[in-house]
Structure 1
Amino acid sequence: MASKLLVDIHTHVYLPRYAALLRSRSAVPFIRSSATHDGKLDERLLILDHEPSGGRPVGPQYWDREEKLKFMDKHGIDVSVVSTANPWLDFLPASQAHTLAAELNEDLEEYCSTSPNVQDVPIRRLYGFGLLPLVPEITTASLLDTVKQVSKLPHLRGLIMGTRGVGKGLDDMALDPIWAAIEAAGLVVFIHPHYGVDAKAWGDMDNGHVLPLALGFPFETTIATTRLILSGVLDRFPSLRLLLAHSGGTLPQLSSRLASCIDHDPVVASRLKHDARYYLGKLYVDAVAYGPEELGFVSDVIARSGRYEAGTSDFKAANRSLGSQRMLFGTDHPFFPPLSSTEKWKSVVENSEAIDAVQGWSQADKDGVRGGNAISLFNLAE
C-alpha cells in the first residue's frame, strides 16, 4: 500500500559527471585524490572552506546507484527522492552552469527512470530534484529553459536550490519569473543550505565541523526563508511549494518574534498580506531534527498557522496532527556514515525513532511523515 511506504526526501548524490568535474579542480569544491601507504586510492571531498581532517572520505556510495539502493534496503527505505548535493553549480560561470545543469538533469532522469519498481507497487524506487543554473550573470531565459526541461523529465519532481539565487539571495525580484514558472509547472523546490553564516562567529577554538553544520546550516536556511517571506514571494505565488531542509532551521522557534518585529516596522507590515506566522503553514519541512520534541514543536507551529490568516479570529489550540501533514522523512545520505559497514546509520535510526516517539501524532500521522506525505506532495502514485 503506497501510503505505508518509507520515503526519503533528503538524500544526495554526486553523479559521475559532477564527480569528474570535482576531480578536475584544485580549489574548493573539489575531490582530492592520493594514494595510501599501501597503494590504494584515497579520495577526499572538500566542499567547505577549512574542511576538518583534509576533507571527508568519498567512495561509490556518493555516486553509485547500486550503493544507494543497498543503503535503502538496509534501512527499509522504499523510495528516495534524490538531489545533487551542495554546492551544486554555484562555482561555475553562467554558460558552463547552464550546459552542465541540462546534462546533469538528463543524467538524474536516467538514474531514476531505470531504477526498479517498489515491490507490488507501480512506483519507482528513485525520483529526483533537478538542478537550476542559479549563478550570477545567468539569463532569465536560461533559467526558464531549465525549468521547462525539468518539468518534462517524468522522474524529476522538483528542483533543489541553495540560498544565493543569482547572487542576491532568493528574495531577489529578478527571480519572480522563475518562481512563476516553477509554480505553474507544479515542481517542488527543496531549499538547502551550504554557506552557513560568517565563520568569525565560531571563534578560535577548534570544534571541527560541529558549529558550521549544527548551527550555521540551519541559520542560513532560516535567514533565506525569512527573506523570502518578507519579500512577499509567498503572497505573489501562493501555490509555490517550498520544502525546507533540517526542519526549517530555527524559523519555527523564532516565528512569533519575527511577527512581533514586523508589527513594529510599518515598511514590512504594509508589504505582507498576513501575519508572518501564517506563511509557515505554506511551507513543507523535512523531519531531519533527530528528536521527537523538536518534531512535535515544529508540527505545532505549522498547525497554528491558519489562525494568523488575515481576517481570521479563530484562536483555538493548534492541532499537532494537522502540522504533521507538512513534514517528510529524510536521512541526509551519504553524509555521516557509521564507523562500521555492518552498522545501521545512527542519523537514520534517530530520525526514524523520533517520528515514532512524537506525542500527539496518531499512527496515520506517523505513516504520513514517513512516506504518505511525500507520495502526495510529489505525486508518486501517478
Structure 2
Amino acid sequence: MSLPPRIDVHSHYLPPFYRAALLANGHEKVDGMPALPEWSLSAHLALMDSANISKAIVSISSPGTNLRPDLPSSTVVDLTRKCNAYAADLKRKHPPKFGFWASLPLPDVDATLREIDTAVEEGCDGFALMTNYQGDYIGDAKFDRVFQRFNELGAIVFIHPTAPCMQCSHGVTAQALPFGDRYPIPVFEFFFDSARAAINLFFSGTVDRCPNVTFLLPHAGGVLPALLTRFTAFGALVPGCQEADPKKVRKQLAEQFYFDLAGMAFEGDEGSDGSGQLKALVKGFDISPERLLYGSDFPFTRQTSAMTLANRMQAGLECLFSDEEREAIYVRNAEKLLNEKKLVRSG
C-alpha cells in the first residue's frame, strides 16, 4: 500500500563543508553513533519520493554549528552563516520541495540576533535550537534577548536534542553522560535533554513571556509527557520548590507546542496496533491530533529505516485517529503552521 502524502518537519541536511567541519572537530561518530551518515540532495529527493513527502523542512542536527567549547565565536558564526545560506539556496532552487529551520551561533547572543535577521531575509521558516549550548540550556536568562526577538517575529522554534552538558569549575564544559560512551546518546539521552530544555522553558518563564512563539518538540516530546504531572505538581506539594501552574502549562502545550513523530513512536512491526509512545502522549495527556506533525529524521535515520518507520506509523495512526485526523497529522497541521507563522522579511 502506498504511503499517504506528508510534510516532513524533522529532517536534516549535511552540506559537504559542514560534514568536513564535523570530521575535523572530532564528530566522526557524532553523538556516539556508529558513523556520520552521508547526505546529498539526490538521496534526500529519493527518500521524499519513496515516502511520498511533498515538502521537507530541513535543519542542522546535533551538535549544531557550535562544534567544540573552545572554538572562537567567529568560527561558529561563519559555519552557521554558510549552513543557512546553503539551506536558503536549496529552498530558492526547489521552492515546492524544501524549507528550512535556520541554525544560530549560540551562545553568542549578539551574533545570533544578527543571524536571525539575515535568515529571515533569506526566507527561513523558523529556527532550530539545540537543547543546550555547551551546558547553557534554552530558557537560561542569558538567552532572553533571543527569545524576545523570536516573540517579536512570532517565530517557530524547532528544538533538537543534543548531548547533555554541564558547566564545571574554571569555565570548563563537560558532557554529562553517566554511562560514558557505552550507549549512543540518541538512544535515551536525547529524550532526557529534550525534557530538561522544555521544563526549563516553563520554569524560567520563557513560555509565559513569549506567547507569540510556537515551539516544536521532537520525538513525540521525548520523556516530557512522563514528567509533566511531576514537574507541574511538585512545587505545590513541596514548599520552597519551583512551581508551575498545571492548568497554565496544559493550556500552553495545547496552544503553543507541536510534537513531531520522528523516531519510534509506535511499538512493534508494520502490522501492529497503535500502542507505544504516541498513544501514551495523546491518550495520557489529551494532546490533540492537531498538534502532531510528521518527521523522518533523515539521513540520521537511513532510507530503509525511515520507510519501515513510515509504514509502522501508517498502521499505528489508523488505529488511533480518523481519516481526517490522519490527514491533518501528515499535511494540514504543517501547512497551517507554516502559513500562519510565516516570517515577514523587512523591506
Normalised by the length of structure 1, the TM-score is 0.75
2:317 alignment partner in structure 1 = 355
**Conserved in 2, the CA contact under 8 Å of 1:255 and 1:277?**
no
* Alignment match of 1:240 (pick from 198, 209, 213): 213
**Conserved in 2, the CA contact under 8 Å of 1:375 and 1:381?**
no
Residues in 1 aligned to 2:224 and 2:15: alpha-carbon distance in whole angstroms: 32
**Conserved in 1, the CA contact under 8 Å of 2:160 and 2:217?**
yes
* Alignment match of 1:299 (pick from 265, 279, 282): 282
* Alignment match of 2:102 (pick from 109, 121, 130): 130
CA offset digits 1:117-173 (Å, max 9, x no partner): 6xxxxxx111111110013xx2x321111111122222x201111122474211211
Instruction: Specify the SS of the correspondent of 1:191.
Output: strand
* Alignment pair present for 1:144 and 2:143: no
1:85 alignment partner in structure 2 = 61
Residues in 2 aligned to 1:338 and 1:70: alpha-carbon distance in whole angstroms: 9
1:72 alignment partner in structure 2 = 48
Q: 1:258 to 1:381 in 2, by over 3 A?
A: closer
* Alignment pair present for 1:199 and 2:177: yes
2:9 alignment partner in structure 1 = 9
CA offset digits 1:200-259 (Å, max 9, x no partner): 247x9x6x53xx323211111011111111111111111211101111111112211222
- Give the number of the structure whose alpha-carbon radius of gyration is greater: 1
CA offset digits 1:343-367 (Å, max 9, x no partner): 8732332233322321xx2211111
Letter of the 2:202 counterpart? I
Letter of the 2:101 counterpart? F
Letter of the 1:78 counterpart? S
**Conserved in 2, the CA contact under 8 Å of 1:15 and 1:84?**
no
**Conserved in 2, the CA contact under 8 Å of 1:235 and 1:273?**
no
2:172 alignment partner in structure 1 = none
**Conserved in 2, the CA contact under 8 Å of 1:11 and 1:81?**
yes
**Conserved in 1, the CA contact under 8 Å of 2:218 and 2:260?**
yes
Instruction: Specify the SS of the correspondent of 2:302.
Output: coil
Instruction: Specify the SS of the correspondent of 1:78.
Output: strand
Q: 1:367 to 1:83 in 2, by over 3 A?
A: same
**Conserved in 2, the CA contact under 8 Å of 1:128 and 1:157?**
yes
| Pairs within 5 Å for 1:176-255 | 176-196=144-164, 198-201=176-179, 209=184, 212-255=185-228
Q: 1:270 to 1:348 in 2, by over 3 A?
A: closer
Letter of the 2:313 counterpart? N
Instruction: Specify the SS of the correspondent of 1:66.
Output: helix
**Conserved in 1, the CA contact under 8 Å of 2:104 and 2:116?**
yes
* Alignment pair present for 1:284 and 2:224: no
1:332 alignment partner in structure 2 = 297
Residues in 2 aligned to 1:264 and 1:165: alpha-carbon distance in whole angstroms: 32
1:35 alignment partner in structure 2 = none
Q: How far did 1:18 drift?
A: 1.0
Larger CA deviation: 174-183 vs 372-381: 372-381
Residues in 1 aligned to 2:312 and 2:190: alpha-carbon distance in whole angstroms: 19
Q: 1:196 to 1:273 in 2, by over 3 A?
A: closer
1:21 alignment partner in structure 2 = 21
The CA RMSD over aligned residues, in Å, is 2.7
CA offset digits 1:70-99 (Å, max 9, x no partner): 110011111111111211112242111112
2:338 alignment partner in structure 1 = 378
Residues in 2 aligned to 1:243 and 1:252: alpha-carbon distance in whole angstroms: 14
Instruction: Specify the SS of the correspondent of 1:134.
Output: coil
Instruction: Specify the SS of the correspondent of 2:228.
Output: helix
1:345 alignment partner in structure 2 = 307
Letter of the 1:146 counterpart? E
**Conserved in 2, the CA contact under 8 Å of 1:134 and 1:166?**
no
Gap runs ≥5 in structure 1: 30-44, 118-123, 304-319
**Conserved in 1, the CA contact under 8 Å of 2:164 and 2:189?**
yes
Letter of the 1:253 counterpart? A
Instruction: Specify the SS of the correspondent of 2:149.
Output: helix
CA offset digits 1:278-305 (Å, max 9, x no partner): 43323111023421333233234554xx
Letter of the 2:146 counterpart? I
Q: How far did 1:20 drift?
A: 2.8
**Conserved in 1, the CA contact under 8 Å of 2:7 and 2:56?**
yes
* Alignment pair present for 1:367 and 2:327: yes
**Conserved in 2, the CA contact under 8 Å of 1:336 and 1:347?**
no
* Alignment match of 1:161 (pick from 129, 152, 159): 129
**Conserved in 2, the CA contact under 8 Å of 1:151 and 1:185?**
no
* Alignment pair present for 1:56 and 2:29: no
Letter of the 2:307 counterpart? W
1:317 alignment partner in structure 2 = none
Residues in 2 aligned to 1:290 and 1:352: alpha-carbon distance in whole angstroms: 11
Residues in 2 aligned to 1:372 and 1:147: alpha-carbon distance in whole angstroms: 27
The higher relative CO (CA closer than 8 Å, separation ≥ 6) is in 2
2:93 alignment partner in structure 1 = 114
How many aligned residue pairs are there?
Answer: 316
Residues in 2 aligned to 1:75 and 1:56: alpha-carbon distance in whole angstroms: 24
